[in-house]
Every structure is written in structure tokens, then in C-alpha cells.
Amino acid sequence: MISEVDKIKKTGATFTPDGLANFLSDKLLSYLPDFNVTVLDPACGDGALLMSISKHLSKEKSNFEIQGYDSNNDYLQIAKQRLADIGIVNTNFILGDFLDIIELKEKQLSLDFNINSTQKFNEFADVIIANPPYVRTQILGSEQAQILARKFGLKGRVDLYYPFLIAMTYALKEDGLLGVITSNRYLLTKSGESVRKFLYKNYEILEVIDLGDTKLFDAAVLPAIFIGRKKRDIKNTSARFSKIYEELNSYQGNLIKADDIFQILNSQENGFFIVDGKRFKKSSGVLKFSNTKENSWTMLSNVEAKWVSDVENNSVGVIGDFFKVRIGIKTTADKIFISDKWDNLCDDKPEENLLKDLISQENIKPWCSSNEKEFKVLYPHFVDNGKKKVIELIDFPKAKKYFERHEDKLKSRKYLIDAGRDWFEIWVPQNPKLWNFPKLVFPDISVMPRFYYDNTGKIVNGNCYWIVATKPEEQYMLLLIQGIANSKLMTKYHDLVFNNKLYSGRRRYFSQYVQNYPLPDFKLDSAKSIVNIVKQLNNLNNIQDIEQLVYNLEIKVAEAYNVEPVFNPD
């Protein structure tokens, strides 16, 4: 006989507690302008959500219809009886899997699909309230997972609630409301990127509530509530956000007494609560949506949100409006192409004019470079009449001998051969004509910002990003960016908006983050002062002078954004 735990793992059938159902109904209907509606629950289970929202709608004396779907007839009959017991007669309960029933006509709707006016095939619901199954597709079995993947355009290992979100969106009318309880994993994880993008594109996001480790369900899932209004061409900037997590540290401050988690949820207060001897911390504020590849979502307190807005409102754009942020070279065989010990090869050393100086993350400091590791890269690319070309090995007998010694390894890069490239090429050499221009170089991962100005023509390694100035007037902007990007103010902005700290306090400085750094007006006197200070910092070795200049820099960066200086971003 299958256990309840195994049933939950296999089907994701975790029923919604009455308190949570009432909370979600209250929240959802607070955004509803008209109570004459069709309400849908595509995985209604025992009907807790439909019963709760029906009670709320009955109080409004509204004219509403209830539709519930479930693939388990026992659950469906319980739901039907519960609504009949409270006098709800305008119901339509359908036995079946909603993911099979919903029709995706003409075009498949995938997580990257943006609904438009021509796709209205199934838009019948005004309100959707749901707690769809949580179960990863690999647990369903490969055959069922492949069927879902084909129908909904899914890739990789995803959760069953992903296709439910797609199907529910397809069933919802334009301007309809969605209130859904899911796992909270999609809020911050890399694997949840496609879900965040889908919700961001197709909904005016009204509110997100992270229920954290409140253990409201029997299943080992950290739940979250999403409330949104289906919209076309919406540009989300922020939404309301709150979260509740158990406080496991020995907090000694004031504790607010609460009867249960739902009382905390309904409270207007933030802070530390105590329920049956357990402490919980509730935080609320603004959910900030970043315009990045990952579409990261970050919760900010009201004070933090105002500070971020002040910085952004005193900018004329972002780095990406003026420059492309590029990744360094990718050899896909670093041990062959990159070394700081080429001289040890003696007779096997390739020709000197093919060995180019390389900036790697080990070399970079904020205002200077380190020569601890003097890397060189064997770079078989050059520019001829403005076009990137690859050397002829016959013209470089030493390099030819060296490459042939590593031929098996280099030719194993089948993707390069399939692309019609020479077997000894660097996979991503970037554009060799750009190396001699002034550029900012910074590591992809670092504890502190390290934006280094290089005008020596060095090549940039793939563990770094770079911004190049190809016109004389862009050099001024490059120096301004260096000063701002190396400041504690921009470090604070980076942490608040992109929320991407790794272990040991290390930060990610990916292109999708840095290209979204806001820039102040270049013509401001404070901007000119920043450039002058940066020029001095790039040419100084005196520690005391650097400290004073860095202090002055923070003052001027804050002045450029019209906010208070930041001296401790943490």
C-alpha cells in the first residue's frame, strides 16, 4: 500500500490549510474590481481554496461560477460536496488532468512566450486560485516528462508547477487575476530563471509572499504565494514583497505574540514573532526586478528601495546604453594556450610574436595590476584589412610543432571543427583589433570591485569581462565608469539590486549586472572630479595618498547621485 509521503512525492498532492486558503482568498479579492466572475482552480484537490474564495464572494452577494479540475475522483467528490454543503450551486467540477484538457492551439505556449492579442483560445477565467502539484518532472517518469516538455516547450529538469503556470495563464482572461501557491525555489535560483521571465512578461506583478520554512505543508517544500494580473506589454519595475522565516538564532529582542502563522501574515507589523515557543521573523518591502539576463528578483526594505530609486533617478542611463560589456577569450584548452612559464619550453617555445600578454583575474587590483603571474596566451589570430584571420601554421614552424604535440586534445574540441574552424584556434578569441584600445577589465568573481584601466594592449582572459573605448571621447566615460564601479556606493547598489553574493562574501560581476550600473550625468562637476581623482589613482603607488583619494572619490560619487556617501556597503 502506498504511503501518504510517497503519494505526495509522486503526485504532489499537498492540500491547502484552511488558514492559508483564507489568507490567499482575502489577498486575491482585494485586487478584484468586479465580483461577477468565473473562478478556476485547475488542481482543486479537496476544494479548500474554492470553498474559501466562494465564502468570500458570497459575502459580496456576487454572481460567480466555480470551476474545479482534478485527476483524482475521490478528491473531486469531496470538493464538490464541500461547496454544496455551504450552498454553492453554480459549480462545474471536471475529472481530468488540467494539463491534458487545456488546448494549446496553433502555437505552443512556452516559458519564453509572450501572450499577445491573437492568442485567446482558452481565456475563460476571471480569477484563478491554485495550489498546483509540486513534483519534479523526473519523478513523473521520462515518458510523461517528455510529453509535458513537448507540449509546453520546457527544457531541463523542472517542476510540475511550471507547466501549470503556463496552462493557467492560457486559461486566464486579459486583466484576470492569478493567485497561486508554489515552491519558492523559482524566486532566486538559476533554474527558476525561466519562470521569473515568464511571470515578468505576462503579468503585472502585484505581490509576492515567501512563506519560507513555516512548515505549512506536510511536504518538504518551502512555499511562496504569487499574485498577478495578466497584462500585455507590461513593464514591471517593483511589487510588494514579504517573507516569513523561522528565526533559529538566539534573538533577545522584543517578540510579538501570535496565535499562528496566519496571524503573522495578516499583521501590518514587521519584526520578530513568537508562536507556540517558535520565533519567526517577518520582513516586508519592495520587490525589485532587475533588467538582466537572469531577471533576478530582490527584496528591499522601503528605505533600501528609496535609496535605489534615488540613485537610478539621478542617472542618465546605464553602462549598457553606452558600451558593450564583453567576456574575455575562451580557449577551451587553457593548459595548452595559457601559461606563465613559456620560457621553460626552450626549443619547443612557439614564436614570440604569437605569445601575447594576458590579463587574468589574478593580475587585477582596483587601480593597478599585479605582476605576480605574468601570463601569456598563444594567440593564433590577427587582423588583416580590418578582418579577423587565423595564422597559417606553415609560416610558424615552432607553433606548428607545439600545436601538433597537443593535436589530439585540440581536435577533440568537436564543436570547433563542426563550426568550420581550424583545429588549433581559440574557441572565443574576441576581436583582435580591439585589444590595443583603452579598456576596463574586471574579474567575473571577486570579494571587492576590481575595475582596472588598461592601455597596454593586453588580451583579456575568460575569467574577466572588459569594456573598450574605441573613440577618444569614450576614454573620459571609461574613467568615470571605473571610479563609480570601484566605489562603495556602487557595491551597495550591486548587492541590493542583484543579490548575488557567493560564499566567503564573493560577488559575481557578470556582464548582465555591470551593464545595468546606473551612470550620472557626464557633464556634472562631480563627474569631472571623479575622472580627475581616478586619473591620480591609476598613477599612484603611495598607500596613504590612495586612501585619501579613495575617500574623496566616495564623496564625489555620492554627490553625482545626490545621495549620502557610502563608506561601509555591508
User: Each residue of 186-203: pLDDT tens digit?
Assistant: 887 777 788 888 899 899
The rounded distance, in Å, linking the Cα atoms of 177 and 166 is: 14
The reply to whether 280 falls in a domain is no
- Intra-chain end-to-end CA distance of the chain, in Å: 54
What does the mean pLDDT of the chain come to?
86
More confident residue, 549 or 348: 549
Question: In the predicted model, is pLDDT for residue 433 greater than 90?
Answer: yes
The reply to whether 383 falls in a domain is yes
The reply to whether 245 falls in a domain is no
Same domain, 190 and 85: yes
User: Taking each helix axis from N to C terminus, what angle separates 161-171 and 193-202, rounded to the nearest 10 degrees?
Assistant: 10
Residue identified by cell 531541463 is 156
The reply to whether 260 falls in a domain is no
The reply to whether 74 falls in a domain is yes
Same domain, 22 and 147: yes
The reply to whether 242 falls in a domain is no
Same domain, 71 and 193: yes
Most confident of the following: 135-139, 167-171, 261-265, 475-479: 475-479
The reply to whether 264 falls in a domain is no
Query: Which of 468, 496, 528 is the last residue in one of the domains?
Result: 468
Half-sphere exposure of 274 (CA within 13 A, CB side): 10
Same domain, 496 and 454: no
User: Beta-carbon neighbour count of residue 285 at 10 Å?
Assistant: 19
Same domain, 496 and 458: no
Query: Which of 468, 483, 505 is the last residue in one of the domains?
Result: 468
- Stretch 68-92: mean pLDDT: 94
The rounded distance, in Å, linking the Cα atoms of 78 and 85 is: 10
- Between CA 7 and CA 90, with CA 161 as vertex, the angle to 5 degrees is 85
pTM equals 0.71
- Stretch 307-334: mean pLDDT: 95
Q: How far is CA 40 from CA 44, 47, 63, 133, 225, in A?
A: 9, 11, 14, 15, 17
All three cell numbers of 487, joined, read: 566605489
All three cell numbers of 529, joined, read: 572630479
The reply to whether 200 falls in a domain is yes
As for how many domains the chain has, the answer is 3
Same domain, 438 and 363: yes
Same domain, 204 and 347: no
Query: Which of 219, 236, 253 is the last residue in one of the domains?
Result: 236
Containing structural domain, residue 516: 470-570
Q: Which helix (H) or strand (E) holds 58?
A: helix 48-59
Q: What is the DSSP secondary structure assignment for residue 349, as one 8-state letter?
A: P
Q: How confident is the model at residue 555 (pLDDT cuts 50, 70, 90)?
A: very high
Q: β-pairing, 91-95 with 271-275?
A: unpaired
